[in-house]
Amino acid sequence: MSQAGSTSGTSTSSGTSASSGTSASSGPGLVEQVRRWISDDPDPTTAAELEMLLERADRSLPDGDSPADRIERMDVLDARRAIADRFSGPLQFGTAGLRGALGAGPHRMNRAVVIRAAAGLARYLTDTVGTGAGAEAGAPTVVIGYDARNLSDVFARDTAAVMEAAGVRASVLPGALPTPVLAYAVRHLGADAGVMVTASHNPAQDNGYKVYLGGRAVTGPGQGAQIVPPADAQIAARIAAVESVASVPRAASGWTVLPERVLDDYVASVAARAQAGGPRDVRIVLTPLHGVGGAVVDRVLRTAGFDDLEVVEEQAEPDPRFPTVAFPNPEEPGAMDLALGLAQNVEADLVIANDPDADRCAVAVVDPRARTHHGPGSAAAEGWRPLHGDELGALLGDYVAGRLAQRRTAAGAGAGSGAGTTGSAGITAADGGVLASSVVSSRLLGRIAAAHGLRHVVTLTGFKWIARTEGLVYGYEEALGYCVDPGHVRDKDGISAALLVAELAAELKASGRTLVDALDDLARRHGLHLTDQLSARFTDLGQIPATMARVRQSPPATLAGSPVTEVADLADGVDGLPPTDGLRLLAEDGSRVVVRPSGTEPKVKCYLEVVVPLAEDADHDTVTRARAQARTRLNRIADDLRAALGLSGR
């Protein structure tokens, strides 16, 4: 069963579902496996959880059909399915590290799984970097961060204990902090690896384990970025080789808790991205969506001179329950409603939202074209709307590219007189000149790069690839991820992105303009690029490869009536990219669709883009009509894709 929609954030830890007849007692091997796991579990809470499930699952199914019998039968079968699911296989360690629902068993996030993962990573580091005082440059080093989700601090301590016992020097961040602070610390401290305990924007029941390599473990532009093949498989193999949790030594002490100075240094490095003396008259509403970014974003903005800030009180403090949102992801419908309402009340210029670990940044603005008669007096009625990730990606890309051009011009004019120091947006004339975006992101960034005389690189999806771009000065992907300071953070950073968009909004406001006006200017210069996404969610994960196969065999012949002129299978490697599971369709009118399975959710995603040419002197009404035309074409393309995915009528 599948359904079309845009809701994301569902946990992917469940794996394949067990049939309703699966019984803990029907397979003695499974019962023995559960018993062995319980005896090796370092956490009495998760051990007791499995004991309770075994007790429920071992009951006989009642033969009767009374209400009590039906309830009893359902309870027994639920317990059997739960056990089968938790032991359907290990939680897979890949390029996203680990991520899944908290709970007992090898297919959940828990202390036993984390200790095994830490042992495998420690072995990888000692094998590749060296170990102990006898190593040429000393023992491997790792810095560990964690957010405010349930058990994040426990998983961080377990990781530090395993590392120290294995001969890896461990340093732990001084509290629950955003992911970009950990990514910064890996490069800032020259650590060989970093571990961030977070599930980012996943639901409250999830947690995760993200791994970075730097220092001596990785050199070049990927130093300090998330792991990619073959390192992920090599670490996974060492995790699989761990015999038991009991066999993993854990130190009682010895690791370092880093001083607050590491956070101070990060804040200072981000605040330095802003142009000194620039406009600051902009009223901003902030929400961290119950995550750990609130205080850090507030501090960065105020350090840079943005003092007119309003924080959504109900979402200001970290709360692992995420009580005011269905999914703690600013992309989700409704997630920013409280912030938009506050913005309407205080007459703000800008809304900035971060996801719970603050590596993503969402922005909302007043767009007169978005005004609606629905909900009089509401934020939506006044035209408040979130910017699409591609819209903000283009705005920031053009902003960074323009600043770089200014610095290069100044450096050329001042050659031999000390030019080339850090200035606007923290860019120097000595920096590279590459803008990068993922294969599913808008093609607009390529046109922006060309207009500024810069090179544009298309990468596979994910910042583990974007961050490795040689000469990178800016990178983004449409899922609200932006890297505006690759020299310090080789990952998406929702905090530095928030600062730059605040600066851009303030500069525009000083000249009587808005971010929407800037988007219209980009459309006039490069054509109006409008993007959207269609998702098909699956409860049976086996339908995902079947759906991809069906689209490959019978791709749409037209997109909104325009003939498809190119069908490229990304699995064959396209335009110099490594092979990846996906399909790219190009139509005669310039429309494009990329279809691929999600790497973090049980979904097939379709990324849609249409392009409408515009004259550079097009007036406001012409641009408005072009946007309406583009939206109509996008909707028609979405219908074509629903049919291709077998979603029509569901």
DSSP string, 615-630: -TT--HHHHHHHHHHH
Question: Cα dihedral angle (354, 355, 356, 359), rounded to 10 degrees?
Answer: -80
Structure-token pair, residue 303? 């350090």
Q: Which of 128, 147, 227, 223 is CA-nearest to residue 184?
A: 223
> What is the Cα–Cα distance from 75 to 58, expressed in whole angstroms?
11
Neighbours of 280 (CB within 10 A): 18
DSSP string, 596-610: EE-SSSSEEEEEEEE
Neighbours of 10 (CB within 10 A): 18
> What is the Cα–Cα distance from 517 to 306, expressed in whole angstroms?
22
Active site (annotated) includes residue 200: yes
Three-state SS string over 174-191 comes to CCCCCHHHHHHHHHHCCC
Q: Which of 499, 475, 502, 478 is CA-nearest to residue 487?
A: 475
Structure-token pair, residue 143? 């810095």
Q: Which of 234, 216, 196, 212 is CA-nearest to residue 139?
A: 216
Q: Which of 121, 93, 94 is CA-nearest to residue 107?
A: 93
Contacts of 609 (CB under 8 A, 6+ apart): 390, 442, 443, 529, 530, 531, 591, 592, 593
The arrangement of strands across the sheet holding 481-483 comes to: 455-459, 434-438, 472-477, 481-483
Candidate list 14, 200, 269, 535, residue with the active-site label = 200
Neighbours of 125 (CB within 10 A): 27
Residues that are catalytic: 200
